[in-house]
Amino acid sequence: MFADFLRRLTEPAVDPLTEGDSRLALTALLVRIARSDEDYQKSEIELIDSIVAERYGLSADDASALRHDAEQLEAEAPDTVKFTTAIKQGVAYEHRLGVIESLWKVVLADGKRDEAEDALLRTVSRFLGVSDMDSALARQRVQGD
């Protein structure tokens, strides 16, 4: 279903993503981080729906539909390095920084930091071109530190 989208996303010369493609790709990252500990919980699903609804001004039904598509994309997407590198090339830094903050919300949703989630978030941050400092600041904002 997403083969053409993935092909366009990972071609050597990536054009800037359309708004719809960007929403889908960035939501897929939220799904990937939530699935990384192999315990994809209802609370994480609801949080992802809430994040994308707020971020993109979507209704609850539209947010759920976007997440559903993102779940399928995430399952079909290439390794995280290629996926995030393609997103980096097509999405402005400030939007990527906002996604890192949203990723921290998902990681911290269950009240604990899982090693697999932490490791994936560090990888995603690095390949999105977000510095460790900016990622740490995003985490602190989410935690209210």
Give the pLDDT score at 115.
87
Is 81 or 33 the better-scoring residue by pLDDT?
A: 33
Question: Do residues 48 and 33 touch, judged by C-beta distance below 8 A?
Answer: no
pLDDT for 1 beyond 80: no
Q: Report the mean per-residue pLDDT for the chain.
A: 85
Question: Do residues 53 and 59 touch, judged by C-beta distance below 8 A?
Answer: yes
Number of residues assigned to the chain: 145
Distance CA 88, CA 85 (A): 5
Which H helix or E strand runs over 18? none
Q: Is residue 6 part of a domain?
A: no
Distance CA 20, CA 62 (A): 12
pLDDT for 87 beyond 80: no
Q: Is residue 9 part of a domain?
A: no
For the whole model, what pTM was predicted? 0.81
- Give the residue numbers spanning the domain of 117: 18-143
Q: Is residue 39 part of a domain?
A: yes
Is 10 or 42 the better-scoring residue by pLDDT?
A: 42
Chain CA centroid to CA 77, Å = 12
| Residues 26-71: tens digit of each pLDDT | 899 999 999 988 889 899 999 999 999 999 999 999 999 999 999 9
Question: Do residues 32 and 73 touch, judged by C-beta distance below 8 A?
Answer: no
Q: Is residue 73 part of a domain?
A: yes
Q: Is residue 32 part of a domain?
A: yes
| Residues 97-127: tens digit of each pLDDT | 888 999 999 988 878 788 888 888 998 999 8
Q: Is residue 105 part of a domain?
A: yes
Short-list 85, 120, 98, CA closest to 10: 85
Residue 47 sits in a domain of what CATH number?
Answer: 1.10.3680.10
Q: How many domains does the chain have?
A: 1
